[in-house]
Amino acid sequence: MRSRVCAQTMFGGDMNARDVMTATPRTISSTASIQDAIDEMFASGVRHLPVVEGKELHGLVCDRDLRSYLLPADEQLLDPDYARERATASVMDIAIREPITIEEGSSVRDVIDLMLEKNISAVPVVSSAGQLVGIISYVDILRRLRETM
């Protein structure tokens, strides 16, 4: 019970995903390459990129997906073309195609519960029409928490 009271006090009883999310997240086109995703992540300092066409969410790519995909097996370390070939593949080859999402009106408590239950560090925020309107990462939640202290 104490944690529920603290969460309501710190985040406000009516605080929702819209209040915490990054409203204009960095995104990448579904036609982009894996190298494009790497470049965007480094340039913008983000770890999660919604994959979109317009406002329609097609997937989600995170830095962990990129590392797993690009780390070669031992025998592939000897092939100089290996990394180049992998990096030119489509971002959709590694994207989570139906990422877990949350609607912008959902409570912050629901967002936190979802992230803990699914062991995810970010969740795209969608409108009631299913269009991408933002993203919430654990960093967004921690920043908001710090503001309340």
Spell out the per-residue pLDDT of the chain, length 149, in tens. 444 444 444 555 678 999 999 999 999 999 999 999 999 999 999 999 999 998 899 999 999 888 888 776 555 656 667 767 777 889 999 999 999 999 999 999 999 999 999 999 999 999 988 899 999 999 999 988 888 88
Q: Which amino acid is at 142?
A: L
Structural domains for the chain: 2-148 (3.10.580.10)
Q: pTM of the prediction?
A: 0.82
User: What local confidence, expressed as pLDDT, does residue 74 receive?
Assistant: 58
Q: What DSSP character marks residue 107?
A: B
Continuous segment of H or E residues that includes residue 86: helix 82-87
